[in-house]
């Protein structure tokens, strides 16, 4: 059931109403120019007699709110419609209580590599609850689609378009070939525990999609991680001596120990040949501007925390990636779904 906190402000009510209108595709004062090929009303205003589209004024957060509201409306429509139909058609009122076995829950735990989130015993109740919810959702979706196919339900709800961004690759370090049509572009912080956690997943993905997908890395040290920016600069200094990958891995392995002395120690451990040059590069903050530019780009596209990823189609001509933002140390399956989607697009 859709649940919302009490909204006191008239302005807040107005914002909610506008998001609702945009989500369900009902125009405030619709004209023919608002229609697009997929039926979504994208034009929301005219400025100096020029159209303004939803895509121009929404950001990732607004898009997420629109999608969330749409999904809740769809769920409530399903519940409401099936309840009404059950009075005349008993088959749409059947109850279902899925049982999730320990084996199924264990397979989910292992497949999604949740060991870093807790032990199987700790997570078992939450995993079972999640799988039960998914099974129930799937069951009612099937009933709903059955009613739709019989012409008993016609829905006019329209799902908002995906929020896509275009990000320049610029000075990102690249694993794989830039000739690959799909890229995973990471914005990370060497002092961030969640960034450290996702590195194993990324390493496995690079092996799985070798030759098909390129992987880029740009810096996004957070302000409250006092040693992260120096670590980012050090990684670029290591890159000068063609030792980025070893040094990069060393930093994440030791993300809790990133003092200047540590950074110099890791340079020796990873086999950087010219330590004097490395030390000079780090002391002079040679790549401070590169790191700050990476931070600026991350902020401009809506990446606020770390790790943040842009996964999408890579355009060689503009040297940019156009795709969706994925936030946080997500399970491998989330990355695979996104990658496969863009590999399938021409």
pLDDT tens readout for residues 64-116: 898 899 999 999 999 999 999 999 999 999 888 899 999 999 999 998 888 88
Ranking 9-13, 62-66, 181-185, 308-312 by mean pLDDT, the lowest is: 9-13
* pLDDT for the residue numbered 339: 97
Give the residue among 203, 208, 168, 197 at the shortest CA–CA distance from 185: 168
Give residue 346's pLDDT band: very low, low, confident or very high (50, 70, 90): low
* pLDDT for the residue numbered 295: 96
pLDDT in tens, 21-37: 444 444 433 343 434 43
* pLDDT for the residue numbered 13: 47
Given a contact cutoff of 8 angstroms between Cβ atoms, the answer to whether 312 and 345 are in contact is: no
pLDDT of 225 > 90? The answer is: yes
pLDDT of 8 > 70? The answer is: no
CA dihedral angle for residue 315, residue 160, residue 152, residue 32, rounded to 10 degrees = -100
CATH level 3 topology of 165-343: Glutaredoxin (3.40.30)
Calculate mean pLDDT across residues 307-323: 95
State the angle between helix axes of 193-208 and 332-343 in degrees (0 to 180), rounded to the nearest 10.
40
Handedness of CA 286, 236, 198, 208 (dihedral sign): positive
Residue 50: CB atoms within 10 Å: 7
Calculate mean pLDDT across residues 6-15: 46
């Amino acid at each position: 059931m859709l649940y919302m906190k009490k909204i006191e402000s008239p302005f807040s009510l107005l914002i909610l109403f506008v998001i609702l209108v945009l989500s369900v595709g009902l125009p405030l004062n619709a004209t023919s120019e608002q229609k697009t090929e997929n039926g979504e009303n994208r034009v929301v205003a005219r400025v100096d007699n020029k159209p303004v589209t939803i895509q121009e004024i929404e950001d990732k957060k607004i898009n997420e709110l629109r999608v969330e509201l749409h999904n809740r409306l769809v769920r409530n429509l399903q519940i409401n419609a099936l309840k009404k139909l059950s009075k005349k058609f008993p088959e749409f009122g059947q109850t279902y209580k899925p049982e999730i076995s320990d084996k199924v829950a264990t397979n989910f735990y292992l497949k999604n590599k949740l060991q870093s989130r807790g032990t199987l015993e700790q997570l078992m109740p939450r995993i079972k609850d999640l799988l039960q919810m998914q099974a129930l959702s799937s069951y009612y979706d099937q009933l709903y689609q059955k009613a739709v196919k019989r012409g008993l339900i016609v829905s006019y709800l329209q799902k908002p378009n995906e929020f896509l961004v275009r990000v320049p690759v610029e000075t990102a370090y690249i694993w794989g070939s830039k000739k690959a049509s799909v890229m995973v572009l990471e914005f990370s912080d060497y002092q961030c525990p969640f960034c450290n956690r996702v590195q194993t997943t990324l390493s496995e993905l690079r092996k799985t999609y070798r030759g098909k997908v390129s992987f880029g890395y740009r810096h996004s040290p957070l302000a409250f991680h006092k040693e992260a920016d120096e670590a980012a600069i050090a990684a670029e200094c290591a890159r000068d001596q063609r030792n980025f990958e070893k040094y990069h891995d060393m930093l994440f392995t030791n993300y809790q120990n990133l003092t200047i002395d540590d950074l110099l120690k890791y340079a020796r451990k990873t086999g950087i040949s010219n330590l004097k040059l490395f030390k000079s590069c780090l002391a002079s903050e040679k790549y401070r501007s590169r790191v700050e530019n990476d931070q600026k780009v991350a902020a401009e596209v809506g990446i606020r925390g770390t790790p943040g990823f842009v996964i999408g189609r890579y355009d060689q001509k503009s040297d940019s990636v156009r795709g969706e933002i994925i936030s946080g140390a997500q399970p491998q399956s989330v990355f695979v779904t996104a990658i496969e989607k863009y590999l399938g697009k021409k």
